[in-house]
Amino acid sequence: MTDTLTLFDAPPTHTSTAVVELFDPPMCCPTGLCGPTLDQTLLDINEMILALQAEGLTVARYQMTGQPQAFLSNPDVMRLVREQQMAALPITAVHGQVVKVGAYPTLAEIKAVLNGATA
């Protein structure tokens, strides 16, 4: 598990129309915002997604049980899941490139990667 945002050196091998992709661990519902108590991390991620979408960015969120093809069609994500199993999740990709593994990114981290990717 990593707490730092690190770009992998390999070129992106997965093509997607989404700018930001979140590969989530298994959850009880698509957002994880269900049940008697709410996880602050999941609330923060939901707010980050809304902020990115408000800026016109496309954000996709996948769960292995609901969208297995999204996992299977991304070789970098599948490699990480094979190597680290569930500890790899969540995985975040920006422009098809894995940028964070094992924890959700902050909005500032995503914006830093987006600014670096477009600079």
The ranges assigned to domains in the chain are 20-118
Spatial CA neighbour of 51 closest among 108, 89, 1: 108
Superfamily per CATH, domain 20-118:
Glutaredoxin (3.40.30.10)
- Beta-strand relationship, 97-101 and 20-24: unpaired
- Tens digit of each residue's pLDDT, the chain (119 residues): 444 444 444 444 444 567 999 999 987 666 666 666 777 888 899 999 999 999 999 999 999 888 999 999 999 999 999 999 999 999 999 998 999 999 999 999 999 999 885 44
Q: Are 94 and 113 in contact (CB under 8 A)?
A: yes
**What's the whole-model pTM score?**
0.79
